[in-house]
Structure 1
Amino acid sequence: MQVVVVDPMQVRLAGQLAASVGPGVLLKCARSADDWHSWLAKADVFVGSKLPAELASRAGSLRLVQVAGAGYEGIALDHLRPGTVVANTFHHGRAIAEYCVMAALALSRQLLVEDRALRGGHWRSVFQDSAAPVHESLAGKTVGLIGYGEIGTHVAELCHALGMRVIAVRRNPATPAAAVDWLGGPQDTARLLAESDVVVVTVPLAEQTRGLLDARMLARMKRSAFLINVARGPVIDERALYQALVDGRIAGAAIDVWWNYPTTGADARPSRLPFGDLPNVLMTPHTSGVTSDVFERRMLDVAANIRALRDGTSLRNVVFRRPTKTPAPSACPTGGIR
């Protein structure tokens, strides 16, 4: 069984992955962007987050696409071989929750602004500068979660520990959520925005969530509120967010997910707009969930599904299965049963 590994972190953990998978599997790990394209024709398993239509169509033997993360919007599902299964993995909830709390604290305390000022020799403190602000604690503030799955659950737990009120909206609000003070459905998003001091966006990217937070919705937020996006860039209207930050319609934002990513190498502007020029923005390159424990646990999930496919046992975390084409029955010339 041949496995093509493209995901950079799984390539980095290739030795551990091979040891966990065991015998009967040939791992082919891509060290560059293009060296794996020719491998797809004989691949049984593809491990990666992006498989465009042209490449998916080449994978005539593919049985499993294993995304080494949660999002699988980069897989051309309609171009996969009939019968191909797509599975994902998680384990990033706690790491991203820690990032969200870190970002909320950094924004509310104007950490980056004070850091830059002091590097230049200016003490931006009320004890030396009468114009310097006095910050507020997060205790007693309200955090609003747009989306309440694995990430939202961990964010709620950590924010409760800080003494914050937690409210959330999700697709199915009928499911109990112990760590939330108030839980609503998508129709309650405007209320959540109006009540929150910190808004955390965690929903997956889909047609119904693309552009979810546009200018009209962002205008519902408090002028003193902060927005943290750890979902996907296009969930928020790019220009509307930039303008809200420029105009002071919201106090600040932490952006970990973007509208533009490098296609090759590590250099690319994350947006067509100059978010980097704004003092009230914290920018990170989609690293909120990048911790060693997350990727080691994901590696174990990837290995488990490869073993399951090899051994003919059940796969875990299946999110899509391409229907198998059933040929139309043809008449038997002899009238018998073939």
Structure 2
Amino acid sequence: MANTFHHGASIAEHVLMCVLMLSRRVLAADREPRAGRWRHVAVDATLPFGDTLRGRRVGVIGPAELAAMGPQALLVNVARGPVVREEALYEALSAGTIAGAALDVWWAAPPHAPSRLPFHALPNVVMTPHNSGHTEETFAARATEIAANINRLAAGSPLGNVVRAGRARAVPDGPAVESV
């Protein structure tokens, strides 16, 4: 069995886009002109300013630690839905325990609803359907790599990016690594 990669840059760009959208309150700002209103902080002092990323920290945390993140924290999940407890995240977002979340991965897959909780009703959530790595460049690079492996197989040559038994994934041109 072999694996393919190339989605890292696309996912990183998606994460940065979502962090910026949440920090600058793009979802709320987008709703204003769609509703026929032209409101921003220069004409409406009740609206909050957006935040810059300067001085912010990025970290990987465990799912029981949402409260420790703080009220300005943003959570971005592009890994797997269950790495974050669904109920705890919904509660933290609803209560303002954290400022926002970007969810690209979910607790259920189609044809089921992605969550049994109404994340879609929260104004501080960016929701995407597991497409953070879906770019033309990613898919083209994967297709090229798959075609090369098919050619290697037909020629009786060793495959690239072989997944070894008992391993979750291979590292391109490097040793296999244990799953985490």
TM bucket (normalised to shorter chain) is: 0.7 to 0.9
1:124 matched to 2:44? The reply is no
Q: CA deviation at 1:124?
A: 3.0
1:213 aligns with 63
Task: Provide the secondary structure at the position in 2 that maps to 1:142.
Answer: coil
- Residue 151 of structure 2 is matched in structure 1 by 307
Q: Partner residue of 1:141?
A: 56
Separation of aligned partners in 1, 2:13 and 2:42: 31
Equivalent residue number for residue 256 of structure 1: 104
Structure in which a larger fraction of residues adopt strand: 1
The corresponding residue for 2:6 is 91
Residue of structure 1 in register with 2:132 after alignment: 288
| Residue 12 (structure 2) pairs with residue 104 (structure 1) | no
Distance change >3 Å, CA 306–CA 321, structure 1 → 2: farther
| Matched-pair identity in % | 52
Contact 1:223 1:251 in 2 (8 A): yes
Q: Deviations over 1:202-259 (max 9, x none)?
A: xxxxxxxxxx413xx1121011110111111111111111111011110000000111
Distance apart, 1:109 and its partner CA: 0.6
- Match of 1:276, as an amino acid? H
- Give the equivalent residue in structure 2 for 1:233: 81
The unaligned stretches of length 5 or more in structure 2 are: 167-180
Does the residue aligned with 1:250 lie in a helix, a strand or coil? coil
Name the count of aligned residue pairs: 166
TM-score, with structure 2 as normaliser: 0.86
Residue in 2 that maps onto 1:273: 117
For 1:231, what is the secondary structure of its paired residue? coil
User: Where do 5+ consecutive residues of structure 1 fail to align?
Assistant: 1-85, 147-188, 190-211, 323-338
After TM superposition, the structure 1 = structure 2 runs for residues 68-79 of structure 1, keeping only pairs within 5 Å, are none
Q: Which has the larger radius of gyration?
A: 1
Distance in 2, Cα, partners of 1:130 & 1:122: 15
- Matched AA of 2:56: K
- Equivalence for 1:22: none
Q: TM-score scaled to structure 1, two decimals?
A: 0.47
CA RMSD in angstroms comes to: 1.5
Find the aligned partners of 2:5 and 2:69 in 1 and give their Cα distance: 30
Residue aligned with 2:102, SS: strand
